[in-house]
Structure 1
Amino acid sequence: MRLRSAVAAALGAGVLLITTPAPASAATGQFRYAYMTVDGYEASGFLNSPPNGQCLNLPGVGEDNPQPAHSPKNRTDAWATVFTGTDCEGDSFPLRPHTGSASERLKVRSVVFN
């Protein structure tokens, strides 16, 4: 009897380990935006499968570039909240998963995915 109980307990523990989902650590997909380089050229930026819950300053539009990014497009599977300032400061605007986008009028410098 003890052997059967031990085997059943071991199998039960194994099933729990296999079926427990791993926490999602990244949004799947791509976040896109447009910006003007410091040399005056129009450029496109993107973040592939960005991490969730971490503030990201958008490459190309940091403190060395006086022009913010614009026209953000959220093609990830997570909500994206864009901010007018770096380090997720300033006014914010949420973009829904997969289809969220905004016009050229929305100026952004950072984003966080939830």
Structure 2
Amino acid sequence: MRLRNAALAVASAVALVLAVPMSANAAVGEFLYKVGPGVPAGIADPQSGKCINLFGATEKDPAFAPENLTTSTATVFLDFDCNGDTFYVMNPGKILGDRLKLRSVIFS
């Protein structure tokens, strides 16, 4: 009887571990954007819930033309450190044009 209970407990623990998603803290996919005169840049599998200042974006020249090719919603900000009241919410798969300027992003 004890062996059967132990085997059931082990099987339940294995099933629980396998049921938990492995990438719970990452937005799977790529977030692409351009800097400078159309130079491509991007982030692969960005961490969720953490503000990311975009590489190549400066005070003078923000990044532009974002493409959210991740599985998560991205909120892009004109200011660094995900500050300010100029932002745009991008659903997964959303591609925006050159007119949208950004310096930071956070994923849900």
1:3: Cα distance to partner?
A: 4.0
Corresponding position of 2:31? 31
- Residues 20 and 62 (structure 1), Cα distance of their counterparts in 2 relative to 1, 3 Å cut: same
Q: Does the alignment pair 1:44 with 2:40?
A: yes
Q: Matches of residues 72-83 of structure 1 in structure 2 within 5 Å?
A: 72-83=66-77
- Distance in 1, matches of 2:102 and 2:34, equals 10
Corresponding position of 1:61? 57
Q: Write out per-residue CA displacement over residues 41-78 of structure 1, whole angstroms, 9 at most, x where no aligned residue.
A: 43111001111110000000134xx1101111101111
AA partner of residue 97 (structure 2): S
Corresponding position of 1:16? 16
1:102: Cα distance to partner?
A: 1.6
AA partner of residue 68 (structure 1): P
Q: Write out per-residue CA displacement over residues 66-105 of structure 1, whole angstroms, 9 at most, x where no aligned residue.
A: 110111110111111100000001211011102x122211
AA partner of residue 29 (structure 2): G
Residues paired across the two proteins, number: 107
- Distance in 2, matches of 1:42 and 1:11, equals 53
Q: TM-score, normalised by structure 1?
A: 0.80
Gapped regions of structure 1 (runs ≥ 5): none
- Distance in 1, matches of 2:35 and 2:8, equals 60
Corresponding position of 2:100? 106
Q: Does the alignment pair 1:96 with 2:91?
A: yes
- Distance in 2, matches of 1:11 and 1:67, equals 56
Determine what percentage of the aligned residue pairs are the same residue. Answer: 39
Q: TM-score, normalised by structure 2?
A: 0.84
- Residues 62 and 20 (structure 1), Cα distance of their counterparts in 2 relative to 1, 3 Å cut: same
